[in-house]
Amino acid sequence: MQEEEKHIDIIEKLKNLPRIKTGDDFMQKLESRIIEFDSEKNISDSKSRNDYKEKEEGFFSKLIGAKRKQWLVPAMGLAVVAVFTLYITQFNKNEITKDNQDSQNSNNNEIKQSDSPDLNRNKAEEKPPVGIPEPTEQKTESDNKTERSATNSNQNKAGIKEVPPTPVESSRMNIGKDNYKKENSDETPNSKKSTEESKGIIETEKMRGGRTSEVETENSGTMFKAESPAIDGKVNSSADELKDFERPIDQKLLDKLNAANKKKLDSLKKKMDK
C-alpha cells in the first residue's frame, strides 16, 4: 500500500487513460469466423469418419461385408483351387517318380533273375555240375525275398495297400507253396533244369501294388501269361510250380464261368423273346 501511495500520481494517470470500445463489426467478424470454422470442422469430421470407415473395412469385409466386391469371391476361389492343384501335382509328381523308379529297379532286377536260368542253363551246358546244388537259383530266391520285402516296404510307404488274395488265388498259393516245398526237398538242380528245358517257357509275374509285370519268353513260340499276388514278400516265382496247378483250376473256372454266362445269356434271350 505504501508503494502504491508513492506512485499514486502515475497510477491515477494510467487509470484515467481513455477507454476505447470495439468496432461495430466486431461481433459480426467473430460470428463469420466461427461459422467458417464450424463448416470446415463438419467437413473434416465427415471426411475423417469416411476415412475411418474405409480403414475399418478390411479384406474380409470387402469379401463378405455389405460393400463386398462381387468379383473378389470367384477370383479368390479360383486362386485357392489353382494353388491347391499346383501343390498336389508338384508334391505327387515327386512321390510318383520315386515309386516308379523303385518299381522299375525292382522289375529290372526280377527280369534279370528270371532271365538267369537261361544263362545258368548255358553255363550248365558248358560245365555240367553233378550232385552240386545250383548256387544261382538259391541266390535268386534269397535276393527276390529281400527285394520283395523292400518293394513291399516302399509300397507301404507310398500308402498302397496290399490287395488280399481271393479264395481261389489263396488256394492256388497254398498249393503252390506246398509243391514248392516238396520240390525243394526232392528236386536236385539237375532235375529242375530238366523240367525247365522240357517246358521251354519261363514265365514270372510279380504283383507289386496291384501292378502286373509280364515277362515273356518265346522258346516255344507261344506267349504265356500268369498272375500271382505278392503276399508277405513271398511270391511263387518259378513257372514250373505254377504250371502244375494253374491250368486245371483255370479250366475249371473257365468252365464254370462259361456255364454261368450261358445261363445268363439264355435267360436274357428268353426275356428278349418274351
Partner 1 sequence: MSENTSIDKNNYKNYTDEQLIFKFQKEDRKAYNEIVYRYKDRLINFLLRFTGNRESAEDISQETFFKLYVNKDKYTEIAKFSTWLYTIALNEARTNYRKEKRHNAISINDYYDGNHSDYQIKSNDLNPEDDANSGTEAFHIQRAIDSLAEKYREVIILRDIQDLEYEEIAKVLDIPLGTVRSRINRGRESLKITLEKLHKTKRILR
Residue 13 CB, nearest distance to partner 1 (Å)? Answer: 6
DSSP calls for the chain: -HHHHHTHHHHHHHHTSPP----TTHHHHHHHHHHHHHHHHHHHHHHHHHHHHHHH--HHHHHHSTT--TTHHHHHHHHHHHHHHHHHHHHHHHHHHHHHHHHHHHHHHHHHHHHHHHHHHHHHHHS--SS---HHHHHHHHHHHHHHHHHHHHHHHTTPPPPPPPHHHHHHHHHHHHHHHHHHHH--HHHHHHHHHHH-----EEEETTEEEE----SSS---------BTTB----HHHHHHHHHHHHHHHHHHHHHHHHHHHHHHHHHHH-
Give the span between the Cα atoms of 101 and 116, in whole angstroms. 22
Residue 49 CB, nearest distance to partner 1 (Å)? Answer: 19
Asked if residue 128 binds partner 1 (CB under 8 A), the reply is: no
In Å, how far are 7, 72, 76 from 68, measured between CA atoms? 79, 8, 13
Asked if residue 32 binds partner 1 (CB under 8 A), the reply is: no
**Residue of 15, 55, 270, 274 interacting with partner 1 (CB under 8 A):** 15
Asked if residue 37 binds partner 1 (CB under 8 A), the reply is: yes
Residue 54 CB, nearest distance to partner 1 (Å)? Answer: 27
**Residue of 1, 5, 22, 90 interacting with partner 1 (CB under 8 A):** 22
Asked if residue 1 binds partner 1 (CB under 8 A), the reply is: no
- Between 19 and 271, name the residue whose CB sits nearer to partner 1: 19
Asked if residue 21 binds partner 1 (CB under 8 A), the reply is: yes
**Residue of 30, 43, 223, 253 interacting with partner 1 (CB under 8 A):** 30
- Between 21 and 161, name the residue whose CB sits nearer to partner 1: 21
**Residue of 5, 23, 131, 185 interacting with partner 1 (CB under 8 A):** 23
**Residue of 27, 86, 119, 253 interacting with partner 1 (CB under 8 A):** 27
Residues 180-219 that bind partner 1 (CB under 8 A): none
- Between 27 and 253, name the residue whose CB sits nearer to partner 1: 27
Residue 2 CB, nearest distance to partner 1 (Å)? Answer: 10
**Residue of 7, 47, 211, 256 interacting with partner 1 (CB under 8 A):** 7
Taking CB under 8 A as the binding criterion, the range among 10-18, 124-132, 173-181, 193-201 that sits at the site for partner 1 is 10-18
Give the span between the Cα atoms of 268 and 92, in whole angstroms. 46
Grid cell of 96 as nine digits: 510318383
Grid cell of 83 as nine digits: 494353388
- Between 5 and 126, name the residue whose CB sits nearer to partner 1: 5
- Between 26 and 52, name the residue whose CB sits nearer to partner 1: 26
- Between 7 and 157, name the residue whose CB sits nearer to partner 1: 7
- Interface with partner 1 by CB under 8 A: which residues? 3, 7, 10-11, 13-15, 17-23, 26-27, 29-30, 33-34, 37
